[in-house]
Structure 1
Amino acid sequence: MADLITRRSTLAPASIDAEARTAEVVWSTGAGVRRRDLSGPYEERLSLPPDAVDLSRLIGASVLDAHRQDAVRDVLGPVRGASVDGNPGRGSGAVLGPAPRWSPSGRTL
């Protein structure tokens, strides 16, 4: 059986805006994570110094429910902002937008 590989994200409760449906999350602590590909196991470690990270490409990306990507319903919304705070091994977060909901006709509900 393959090893279970997980990544943890923490939610900052003080950052939740229920009306706007936004929350700030920690998207990386810089800790190494065991991964596996066709070449075998390896450790993934994200580089987080502000001059090494281009987060502009993250803006607008889909935020997925528990990393699931099988259906449109798994998309919670777009990333609205992202930054790193300059502390070694710590990302300061991404802000999530309202979730799209779709009807069978393809229209937004």
Structure 2
Amino acid sequence: MLYQLLDVVVTLINLFGIGIVFWGFVVAAIGFIRVKLHHHRVVYFLKEASKIRAVLGTYILFGLEFMIAGDIIHTFIKPSQEDLIVLVTIVGIRTVISYFLGREVDQARQDQIIKTG
């Protein structure tokens, strides 16, 4: 019974993470379309595109954290060597993605501070 409940919790955590990433895509897509439709100057577009990328990257990072948490809980529920290998692989890939995406988001924010400061 407890394992079934935890399976549901893991599914909800993963769905929440996916929802965050999807919401970030929607926010970024709307921002991109708005900028593209209303502003035709390349310099302004590039500045706004950098902001949009930072926002999308932040949502992706946040969503990935939930998905990693779900994977960790899932492995504790049903520990097997195969599940552990899959977990290490998934967490490794997501951690690398998170690291580089985080650096890109930080760089975009620094660029924005420099441009506006």
Q: Compare CA radii of gyration and give the structure with the larger one.
A: 2
TM-score (norm 2): 0.25
**Larger fraction in helix:** 2
The higher-RCO structure (CA 8 Å, 6+ apart) is: 2
TM-score (norm 1): 0.26
